[in-house]
Structure 1
């Protein structure tokens, strides 16, 4: 008999099962995975790690492989509206009953082991992908790389998108420390595509130690923007007049170039035509990344929550909204560099509205206001009971030729989309 009869029941139980919300290590998940899949049946796998850009790379990979006609499994985190978004097969979130069935199998296999919420989700995705006989599985590393549950799988190609300071409590306070953690996904003889233009020396050192062939942007592959399009080069291959990526922002050219390179390394096992690449670039979709909601007063959504991501957001705003008055509905988690984010983007924000979140990790209004004070930023309004009140205040103050920006956290973007 199943422990729970609903997905929400399973998820509530998982949140309290393990004594630590984040407990990095591979032994628990690897042991259960061996019980679930003793023959280690594994489709071709691409693992994506990095500080920013992981979700975009997974989305590009998914769109291109699906355009080629492959059955694709994609595992990402966190979700924005529904847990099911984390586990997709052929572009569709997996149904509640299938996830519950996977949880039942994991619960039966774990014995006395207590798994974290994230470990349950990772194991469910892996279980569902091999049982569904997907042609390729795409795995996003949740945190770091070396000790993340995704790393129980030996990938056939890896992508490291970018490395910057984030999650310092678990990964370290320097790019060198964080780079070493990200490099934990490397395997001997398995190509790793590096989309960071200035990778830490620690990452390169681990690659040498593990005999991992690196393909570095700017050296082994690259891109160049052209009139109305762009071109990508890798080895002796050059694709010209590529369509602009459907995902917005200069950084998406780096992500797309990294993805095309990773796909090329697996071309013998998973051939992909130039037409499928072009189609995937134009059809890719991803919620919460420079997502524009058209209305009388347009709304731009972005889940960026660390200095590097917000620097990219700033560049986008300067390019597309120069001279436009911007009203920012804002919230962040307390373990993030709130002051650093404010310092970067405040020059283009005319008015701030502090949105309270129910998440226990969310920074308090007093904490956020102190960060504004430290940066000598004014025009900050708080005291709202919930997100809806904060957003309504922004709507009332903004005019038709202005922009409302909702940014700072996945949870904040989720609040907006849930209210639509």
Structure 2
């Protein structure tokens, strides 16, 4: 009995009810459904794994390829506001109605002759998007790995090139307790004889070992490619190719040169199949945009949006905030998942924040605003608690941002961070929901 639904919302609701667990490690079920669907790509595929920097890396790959005149497809997750943001074809977000036929195809492959294969929400939606991409006449497909690598649903596709960005401690309940075990999971996206670009300058040994074990073509940061830069410009050198005197990537932040370097290494590794021009590299990196990654919204007060949600990305956010210059008061809207390593996140950014606005989030995985406040108080006490820092509790991110805008002076700044839900919660169609005071009316 096949289920058919008429809207994307109905399909997403169906996917939410199919499987008791959000995450079910193991690729056999997904692979079986993918085989029934005869899912395959006729173009080069780049898969991107890592703890932080995946979204930026995918956006840069896409931007350079688009500037070279290629038709690109990108799959990323999670989304900020609308599910459709997870897939872009030729630089444009897909329409909700474009996805429906592909959800139906996954469902009919999943349920055949009374034999039903269970899929999680993530697996089901990933297969639907992969099918849409595979039928979109692409020149290059770019897939962001959701979690880990080895057992992620995207890994049913044999990538022509793998990129592994920075590796940090996250999702320990699935991926293991330390960088070595997490690195082993990420290394699962490598393929024998195919390039793997490791842009983490301090890559875990497990990643290097796995590449050697399976005979992947390993591109290591600092050995096979490198970058250098001064205040004005930066340069990149890889195996037999250089780009000099480039403008800095338009994505702000300390780690973006590492991400951009990995992207250039991937294009170098694939140059026989998808050559890019030096001009496309310059233009693509100069124009790339990614909502919610150290996104500065002009106006008064200044608004900073960042989906940072683990110690590594919060450390990068802190460095970026520090580099912005002086603001009389910094207000922080913060909501986060309960399974995150919250104490080091709060301790790192804490010295820069004068007023906290803790918020609940609309998902059972989220920590409550009250518990976030308790954790902050504990961190603050350990740090000596000498500075007076105010905090308040809010029902949702919009209410928290509203309170911050009310309290802030025009010269202040407000930073919204801690989760995709926190940043997504204050956006409508990609623009922040702010009232007239912020717009200077």
Structures share a fold, TM > 0.5? yes
Map of 2:131 onto structure 1: 127
Separation in 2, partners of 1:261, 1:293 = 32
> Is contact 1:26–1:152 with CA below 8 Å preserved after alignment?
yes
The 5 A counterparts of 1:122-201 are 122-201=126-205
Distance of 2:206 and 2:165 partners within structure 1: 15
Q: Deviations over 1:292-330 (max 9, x none)?
A: 111221110000000000110111111113455211011
| Structure 2 match to 1:19 | 20
Residues 194, 230 of structure 1: alpha-carbon distance in 2 compared, 3 angstrom cutoff: same
Secondary structure at 1:361's aligned position in 2?
coil
Q: Secondary structure at the match of 1:47?
A: strand
Match of 1:350 in 2: 354
Greater Cα shift, 136-145 or 88-97? 88-97
- Any idea what SS the aligned residue of 1:305 has? coil
Shift of 1:370: 2.4
More displaced 10-residue stretch of structure 1: 293-302 or 211-220: 211-220
SS in 1 for 2:394: coil
Unaligned runs of 5+ in 1: none
For the residues of structure 1 that align with 2:38 and 2:165, how far apart are their CA atoms? Answer: 30
Q: In structure 2, how many angstroms separate the alpha carbons of the residues matched to 1:210 and 1:277?
A: 31
Whole-angstrom distance in 1 between the partners of 2:151 and 2:366: 25
Give the drift of 1:208: 1.4
* Separation of aligned partners in 2, 1:352 and 1:104: 45
Alignment deviations for residues 310-352 of structure 1 (CA, whole Å, 9 cap, x no partner)? 1101111111134552110111100001111001110111111
Alignment-derived partner of residue 439 in structure 2 = none
Instruction: Report deviation, 1:236.
Output: 2.2
Change (3 A) 1:174 1:15: same
Paired residue secondary structure (1:320): coil
CA drift of 1:243 comes to 1.5
Can you list the C-alpha shifts for 1:187-234, whole angstroms capped at 9, x where unaligned? 111111111111111111111111112111112111111342111110
> What is the aligned counterpart of 1:311 among 293, 308, 315?
315
Larger deviation: 384-393 or 173-182?
384-393
Q: What is the match of residue 280 of structure 2?
A: 276
Partner residue of 1:287 out of 281, 288, 291: 291
Secondary structure of 1:9 counterpart: helix
Matches within 5 A, 1:1-400: 3-37=4-38, 40-111=40-111, 112-322=116-326, 324-375=328-379, 376=381, 379-400=389-410
Q: Tell me which moved more, 46-55 or 195-204.
A: 195-204
TM-score norm. by structure 1 comes to: 0.97
Task: Give, in angstroms, the shift of residue 238 of structure 1.
Answer: 1.4
CA contact (8 A) 1:226 1:241 kept: no
Query: In the TM superposition, what is the alpha-carbon distance from 1:369 to its structure 2 partner?
Result: 2.1
CA distance in 2, matches of 1:374, 1:381: 13
Q: How many residues align?
A: 419
Q: Secondary structure at the match of 2:162?
A: strand
**1:409 and 2:419 aligned:** yes
Structure 1 distance, partners of 2:42, 2:300, is 49
Distance 1:135 1:325 in 2: 48
Q: What CA RMSD, in Å, does the superposition of the two structures yield over aligned residues?
A: 1.4
- The 2-side partners of 1:385 and 1:143 are apart by 29
Unaligned runs of 5+ in 2: 434-441
